[in-house]
Structure formats: C-alpha cells, structure tokens
Amino acid sequence: MSCYIIEGGNRLSGEVQISGAKNAVLPILAASAAQNESTITNVPFLSDVSNTLEILEKLGIKITTENNTVTTLGNINNTVLDKDLSQKMRSSILFLGVLLGKYGEVTIYEPGGCQLGDRPIDIHIWAMEQLGAKIEKYDDKIICKGKLKGKEITLPIVSVGVTENIILAAINAKGTTIINNPAKEPEIDDLINYLNKCGNKIYYNKNSIVICENNKSHYCEYSIMPDRIEAATYIAMAASTGGELFINNVNIDHISTINEIFEKMGCIIKTDINKIYVDAPTKLYSIPEITTNPYPGFPTDMQPQIMSVLAKTEGISIIKETLFSARNKHIPELNKMGANINKKSDCLFEICGVKSLKGSTLYSKDLRGGAALITAALGAEGESTIYGVEHIIRGYEAICTKIGNIGGKIKLIK
C-alpha cells in the first residue's frame, strides 16, 4: 500500500503553479467524444484523467498526449461504456448525455467516485427522460435509447453533474433546451466555453441556460481553466504552516468566497490578475459558521481542508455541510492528531481549536479528506504517515513535487 510520509512543522514559502481543473477537464474530455477534433491544453495529469482517456479510447476515439496537451480525434465505434473504468469515477455519468444525445443510445454503469454518502443518479436519469429517452435498468447496468427533443427543464435541486449532462445531451437534440435552476459552477462555464468554441450555441439567460440545436462541430483548441480547489488547498497549507506563498495561474474571481474566510482567520491575502499572495500568521482566528453551498457559496470541496486549519485556531468554529451526508471521514483522523472536533450530526461539525496537532498514522478515505490530512500533517509536530494515496492522486497533480518545492517535507513511499 502506497503512503505519504510527512515531516510536519516546516513553514511553506515560495511559489506554486496551479494545474488545470479536474472538474472542468473531465466533462470536457467526455464532451470531446461527440465533437470534431479537439486539442485540449492545460490538462492536469491525474488518475481520473487517465481513466477518462482510456474510456474514450475504448469507445474508438484516437487520443494523443504530449505533456499537458491532449488531442482527441475520430468517431466512436461503440456506445457501451467500459464497466470497470466507469465505476472508478463519478464523472463517467457524463457519457450518458454525450453518447445518448449524439448517437441515440448508450449503455452505462452506476458510476463510482468518492464515497461521500448517497450519490444517486436519479435526476440524471429523470433529465434524460424529460428529453425523450427510454431507460431500462438491470442492477448497475443502465441502457438508454431515444432521439432526444429539446425541452424546458426545471431542476429540482442544483446539481453540477445534471446541468452538465443536460447540456451535453441537448446540443444534439432537436430544438432548443432551457435549463432552469442550473448549477453555475465555473467548471460549467468552462464546458460551455469549450462547446461554443467547437461551434455550438449555449448561453445564459438570467437564471437559465439555453442550449440550441447543433449537429455539426469544427476543430477546436481549448485551454482548461485553473483548478480553484487546488489553489485554495495550497492557501490552506500556507495557513496550516504559518507560511507565505505566491500562488500562480489562478482565476481570482473563482475563489473570492474562500479568500474572505482565510482573511477572517487572519491571513493576509493579496490578489493580482491571475495570482494570489498569502501570508499566514502563526495564530489564526476561529470562524463562527461556515456553510457549504453551490457556487458562489463556500464549496463543499474545500470543507475538509478548511477544517484542518480551523482545528488549530483559538476558539470554536462550526461547519455545516449541506451537499454530502458522509463528507466527514477526515474527522476521526484529525482527532487522532489531537484535534477536538465533534460531529454533532453527519453534516454539522463543531471544531474546538487546540494549540497544536501531532503527527500520526492516518487513513484518507476520499480525495478532499486526503488533502485535509496532508494540510494538517504539514502543520503538525512530528511525522505523519498517510494511506489512501490513490484518492489524492485523483485530484492533485504532482502534489509531492509542488509541496517539496515550497519547503514541505513529503515523500511518497510505493
């Protein structure tokens, strides 16, 4: 079993370069299966990306990769997704809209991904039915068929994946589709920008997204947006170690809500066009309440990492997690390090700040929980061993090299 060994207590300082966003590149790569040739740049080298490229190859798409650039070319020759690969990631559900919309049929499997509580796909299925698909379910296998027709759809809850799936399906449906109450995460804008660059017509109209019918696309070159969660995780690491970092290749508009919280904790944050400077004091303040919410609210994908920082503040902080009922598996691990975090319920957490954390043997059970343990271990006294590397490499490109370059002591043991 691979693990990270971290020698805590070293103040991080220097410059870190942020990679392309995981949650933008995965839908864009899926979308490329139904577009003309695409050259996609700023692609982060992550295990979820390699899995998606393998899915595309198994569908018949020709892939070439060079450094952080991926070219996708050709038509698919089958509409059945690879079961093992799809069950490794949640984003494989996006091939539902891509293939159903373009080819009128697809066989998918219940997707995998981080175990964050119930993550049903009921609304994905319902949305495809709204567009005219017929769905048959056999255990974890789902067969979908139909010539889709554009429609006005009002989402019952704000969902990133469902919004993306409808867009992906609707570009090839007959007529116009309108999504009311869509998710508005920047990663959705990135998908829309990519598709529009391929020749599609998708736009916002007040609180709705309008998708026009388009059956042809052309060559497109597209650069993936910077990963706002990776950038914010490095701010958390600076805060955890009393460090000072210059964080490059960031869209600062995407992380203003997160920056405000770090500022309230006492960090000095300065921003330039695509850079952030963070200077963290050794003593930080607690935050009375943080509630996770869809964009532009505080992102659930930063909840575990901010908790690691709050664990060492003076006073009591409260976190309310509103999206995932089991995004709390990092709590017992942080408590092993000497944190005092009480789970009032599966989604309500009371963090009573302690003076310091101590290194320990820790188990990461999901991606962001793993990033939280690294954040805590970097600022803790002594050595930590963190298992569950496979979760962390799904979302953080070259994490050991990046942390090493800014003075953190981290080793990957295979």
Q: Which residues bind ligand EPU (CB under 6 A)?
A: 23, 26, 90-91, 114, 118-124, 157, 159-162, 183, 300-301, 323-324, 367-368, 395
**For residues 37 and 48, what is the distance between their CA atoms, to the nearest angstrom?**
21
Tokens linked to 299: 């992102």
**For residues 107 and 14, what is the distance between their CA atoms, to the nearest angstrom?**
48
- Examine the residue annotation and report whether 400 is marked as an active-site residue of this protein: no
Residue nearest to ligand EPU (CB): 161
Residue closer to ligand EPU by CB (options 267, 392) is 392
Q: Judge contact between 354 and 312, C-beta under 8 A.
A: yes
Residue closer to ligand EPU by CB (options 114, 198) is 114
Smallest distance from the beta carbon of 115 to ligand EPU, in angstroms?
A: 10
Smallest distance from the beta carbon of 203 to ligand EPU, in angstroms?
A: 21
Pairing outcome for strands 244-248 and 13-17? parallel
Q: DSSP states of 9-73 as a string?
A: -PPPEEEEE--B-HHHHHHHHHHHTTSS-EEEES----HHHHHHHHHHHHHT-EEEEETTEEEEE
Smallest distance from the beta carbon of 185 to ligand EPU, in angstroms?
A: 6
**For residues 41 and 321, what is the distance between their CA atoms, to the nearest angstrom?**
34
Q: Judge contact between 13 and 245, C-beta under 8 A.
A: yes
Smallest distance from the beta carbon of 374 to ligand EPU, in angstroms?
A: 14
Residue closer to ligand EPU by CB (options 121, 398) is 121
Smallest distance from the beta carbon of 218 to ligand EPU, in angstroms?
A: 26
The 3-state DSSP composition of the chain as helix, strand, coil percent (nearest 5) reads 35, 30, 40
Residue closer to ligand EPU by CB (options 157, 268) is 157
**Tokens 């090493």 found at:** 404
117 contacts: CB under 8 Å, gap ≥ 6: 324, 325, 326, 327, 346
Nearest to 231 by CA among 206, 190, 259: 259
Smallest distance from the beta carbon of 323 to ligand EPU, in angstroms?
A: 5
**Tokens 């050259």 found at:** 39
Residue closer to ligand EPU by CB (options 150, 395) is 395
Residue closer to ligand EPU by CB (options 90, 365) is 90
Q: Judge contact between 275 and 206, C-beta under 8 A.
A: no
Residue of 114, 267, 347, 400 marked catalytic: 114
Active-site residue list = 114
